[in-house]
Amino acid sequence: MENYFQMHMEKQQIDAISNLGLAHIGDGVYEILCRAYLCAKGGQTVKRLHKESVELVKAPTQAKLVEKILPVLTEEEAAYYRRGKNAHSHAAPKSATPQEYAKATGLETLFGALYLAGRTDRLNELFGLMVE
């Protein structure tokens, strides 16, 4: 049985997934990291946790936070980020500029690729740099 919690796909398999497919899984990975981060901080009501989670997952926030990690990305990681950033998505939220949405999609694509590769330590490292 496949362990979908701990993925270990080969690069070739990951590269066969569309840019927006990687962003789709990366969106969920990013959200769970945000929720875990907020819960680990402790001392918050559910209402406050929800409000802060929503703030962290918004495209403008993601676009701002991704700037912190761009200088430390490996060549391969930067390539995944660019794949997502350059993906042609036809639906951008009203709360974000097209540039912010592209950066957020790039971040989600990167996080999706890292998750599918089983590189959770690197995901944690990058996420930690973003929320420092």
Residues catalogued as catalytic: 27
Q: What's the rounded Cα separation, in Å, for the pair 81 and 29?
A: 15
Q: By C-alpha distance, which of 84, 125, 108 is closest to 30? A: 108
Contact at 8 Å (CB) between 70 and 103? no
Q: By C-alpha distance, which of 94, 37, 83, 90 is closest to 60? A: 94
Total residues belonging to the chain = 132
